[in-house]
Chains A and B, each alone.
Chain A
Amino acid sequence: MVGGVVDVTRTFDKVEQILEKYGHRKEMLIKILLEVQKEYRHIPREVVNYIGVALGIPPAKIYGVATFYAQFSLKPKGEYTILVCDGTACHMEGSMNLIKAIEEEVGIKPGEVTQDLKFSLDKVGCLGACALAPAMVINGEVYGHLNAEKVKEILRNLKERKAE
């Protein structure tokens, strides 16, 4: 997948598997979208229409759900999705400095993704890691007690890892 272009045949096979897993049940829509998001790092337009037909839900309703919840994105996310916690504890401990550091290191602001689709950055509500404030999560792994320097180091390491 380059630049957000989706291989349609592959997409539908995978989506069909996900739909199958949840028995084509309408009430599982959120879980289905979560899995689609996980697989493609966004919810591709074609997939919305496909799910709509498969479950008998108007695509507009699916867009309604997909745009309502913060976990979903209609634009592709990076290979490394960075979530900086901006809950009360983290905010007070300086989460904005982390966001600034990330911008300096990889050049993206919250809601953006790097051109090579390696990194994306989002500011989120509480991650529940308040005792480790300020904290961030990259692909599910929590990093705590951060400062600008530590953040830059973590990102540098990830950049190297991708070069391997």
Chain B
Amino acid sequence: MAIAVEKRFNSASELLKYIEELKAKREKKLQKPSVYVCVGTGCTASGSRKVYAKFVEVIKARGLDIQIEKIDDDDEPVKRTGCCGLCSLGPLVKIMPSGITYSHVTVNDVEEIVEKTLLKGEAIERLLLTDPISDKKVERLEDATFFKNQTFYIMEAIGTSECESIEDYMARGGYSSLAKALSMDRKEIIEQVKASGLRGRGGGGFPTGLKWEAAYNSKGDIKYVVCNADEGDPGAFMNRTLLERDPHSVLEGMIIAAYAIGAQKGYAYIRAEYPIAVEMFNKAIEDAKEYGLLGENILGTDFSFELYVKEGAGAFVCGEETALLASIEGKRGVPRPRPPFPAQAGLWGKPTLINNVESYANVPKILRDGVENYRKRGVEKSPGTKMFSVTGPLKLTGIIEIQFGTTLRYILDNICGGTSNGQKIKAIQIGGPSGACLPEELFDLPLDYDTLRSVGAMVGSGGIVAITEDRCMVEVARFFLDFTKRESCGKCVPCREGTTQAYNILEKFTQGKATYEDLETLEYVSEIVRTASLCGLGKTAPNPIISTLKYFRQEYIDHIEGKCPSGMCTAFQKYVIIPEKCKSCSLCARSCPNGAISGERGKPYVIDQEKCIKCGLCVTKCKFGAIELVS
């Protein structure tokens, strides 16, 4: 505890002075030879922690001859850094001061990197990243088009942010906005957030400032601040990335929010599926407490704020704010009708402010840069930047940050480098299960809350999935409905029964059993679910159906007419024996589990399509390659 007392700031000026010291130190640090290894979930899964350990081991073993000058005792030459977004190329390693960055690094490369790059500053050609757009090797991340064409604002210090270090965050100016906020009038902070035009990054796009104002105006002896980090959308992981790479930016935003609305207690609700994010945020809380940035009498003022992490337990509906609050209280995560809104009656009936991870991370930037500068990015009605996770068969995938108003085509071509399998992209699925599938003719629309809404889509939490021509849009819709039907909490009938019925109809389509009447029923059911459901999950659940019916209707009709144009729905495929190749050896007939193959000596065998269960076993048994799959 002695350290805690020593570290504690008793005033804003003490903090600001320390930040200046750390800033200078960081400048110096980046000039020293050092290795930054990404420890985000993506790179960890690719083995980055083993690479990290190997670097520590190699450098330690070589000891003096490396002669890496330490700036102070806790400055290690090998550092753990947060995700830079290029998860598909992990593990990523950045060497300073040259900034040379390597992808797909393995334990076996470590000795060579230390020898050549760290000590001599030479680049190792084979480990460099190939820029898919220029098709050239690039030494530094900053030179790759993937990074050059993004707008980094919430994500900063790419490849050199030390995600687990509060000192590194402060060295980048972190917590200076908190110091500023504590000297401001509460109303004034709310006015600034309102004027910034910040909209909820969780998907709905509701103006954040208005939520703050409502929570401020609510009367109550106890108020809560909650961070919604229950990122359940399949295909989206930017909240996780942000929590893993810069947990303190989210934390600082939450503390400022608590001060502004007058809250004493807060919760960060993080999915249990994100163990690294939970661990890093817990560490961030402990570190902030030690410096007196959280807890009692923050920065020597009379403002006190306690913050806890609450783990989710795997229920998508908990991303809905009223369900999330029920879950924090330890109950089933079932939504309830609004009003009253959480700002009036939230946790345990007390006024509660609830915002998304990324929304909170924007707040310190607004106070730091001022409203006018903040609004320079993005468009009039959707200012600022947005993180998206881009996945699918693209050359580069991962987390990106762009200004609102950027087009989908720009992301696909100029950031991700186009498709990796030579196929054309026929659709973009944006916004997860509540989002929509957009066809190619809409790729030039600017990405912002209102434009997307006008075409029936939604920013959602920010997942973008590229879908190429060899994928079936009806199957995509079926996939999402399978998800929402399972995740429907079951409280209201339209959502519980409607999603199930819609799913059953979609399954008929993918199995080749649908009729034109089913198409009509599907539209009818979708409309009911959309209008009559209680919460956001149900209201948006039919979006994947409605959008695919609108933009890819022909594919539904093709399925009724007996074919799946992409060839993805196996029900439309059949196994046939090519007569010329068949030697009538009877091996296939003997191995068929359903007795669907018959024939006699000297004549080619045939498959009875009625009996065939499409297991494909005969293909593996045939020694002459005489059986093939046709659609």
On chain B, which size bracket covers the interface? 35 or more
A68-B315, A89-B465, A124-B314 known; A133 and B391 CB under 8 Å? yes
- Once bound together, how far apart are the Cα atoms of A86 and B475, in whole Å? 14
Q: Report the nearest A residue to B318, measured CB to CB.
A: A69
User: Of B145-153, B185-193, B329-337, B574-582, which binds chain A?
Assistant: B329-337
Whether the pair A125, B487 counts as a contact (CB closer than 8 A) is yes
B432 at the interface (CB under 8 A from A): yes
Instruction: Report the separation of the CA atoms of residues A91 and B433 in the bound assembly, to the nearest whole angstrom.
Output: 13
List which B282-339 residues lie within 8 A (CB) of chain A. Answer: 310-316, 327-334
A26 interfacial by beta-carbon distance below 8 Å: yes
Q: Say whether A140 contacts B275, CB under 8 Å.
A: yes
- The B472-488 residues at the A interface (CB cut-off 8 A) are 476, 479-480, 483, 487
Q: Please state if B314 and A70 are interface contacts (CB–CB under 8 Å).
A: yes
Q: Which of A2-10, A12-20, A29-37, A156-164 contacts B (4 or more CB under 8 A)?
A: A29-37
B533: Cβ under 8 A from any A Cβ: no
Partner of A92, one of B237, B315, B328, B471: B471
Specify the chain A residue showing the minimal Cβ separation from B233: A126
A154 within 8 A of B: no
Interface string of A59-82 (1 = CB under 8 A from B): 001001100111110000000000
A117 at the interface (CB under 8 A from B): no
| B433 vs chain A, min Cβ distance (A) | 8
- Chain B positions within 8 Å of A124 at CB level: 273, 314
Instruction: Give the size category of A's interface with B.
Output: 35 or more
A53 contact set on B, CB distance < 8 A = none
A13–B410 Cα distance when bound, in Å, is 59
Residues of B within 8 A of A130 (CB): 87, 235-237, 389, 391, 397, 463
A27 touches which one: B44, B328, B398 (CB < 8 A)? B328
Q: Are B313 and A132 in contact (CB under 8 A)?
A: no
**Given the complex of chains A and B, what is the CA–CA distance between A125 and B315 in angstroms?**
9
Residue A52 at the B interface, CB < 8 A? no
Interface contact B45-A70, CB-CB below 8 Å: no
Residues in B with CB closer than 8 Å to A68 are 315, 332-334, 489
B493 to chain A, nearest CB (A): 18
- Does B500 have its Cβ within 8 Å of any Cβ on chain A? no
Q: Cβ of A125: which chain B residues have Cβ within 8 Å of it?
A: 232, 234, 314, 316, 483, 487
- Provide the bound-state CA to CA distance between A65 and B232, in Å: 18
In angstroms, Cα B310 to Cα A33, docked, is 13
> Is A131 interfacial (CB 8 A cutoff)?
yes
A96 to B248: give the CA distance in the assembly, Å.
38
Would A88 and B487 count as touching, CB distance under 8 A? no
Q: Does any Cβ of A come within 8 Å of B629's Cβ? A: no
Interchain CB contact under 8 A, B237 and A128: yes
Let me know if A127 is at the binding interface, CB within 8 A: yes
A34-B313, A142-B41 given; A88·B330 CB < 8 A: no
Indicate which residue in B41, B46, B233, B313 contacts A70 across the interface (CB closer than 8 Å). Answer: B313
Which residue of chain B lies nearest to A61 when distances are taken between CB atoms in the complex?
A: B331
Query: Is A54 part of the contact surface with B, judged by Cβ < 8 Å?
Result: no
**Chain A residues within an 8 Å CB radius of B231:** 128
Contact B392 A72 (CB under 8 A): no
Query: Is B240's beta carbon under 8 Å from chain A?
Result: yes
Additional pairs, 9, CB under 8 Å, beyond known A30-B312, A61-B331, A144-B45: A30-B313, A65-B332, A71-B313, A87-B234, A92-B465, A92-B476, A125-B234, A125-B487, A130-B397
- The 7 residue pairs across chains A and B that have the minimum distance between CB atoms: A87-B234, A70-B314, A131-B87, A142-B45, A69-B313, A88-B235, A128-B237
A-B contact pairs, 5 of them (CB 8 A): A30-B327, A65-B330, A92-B476, A131-B398, A142-B44
Chain B contact residues, CB within 8 Å of chain A: 41-42, 44-46, 86-88, 231-237, 240, 272-275, 310-316, 327-334, 389, 391-392, 397-398, 429, 432, 463, 465, 467, 471, 476, 479-480, 483, 487, 489
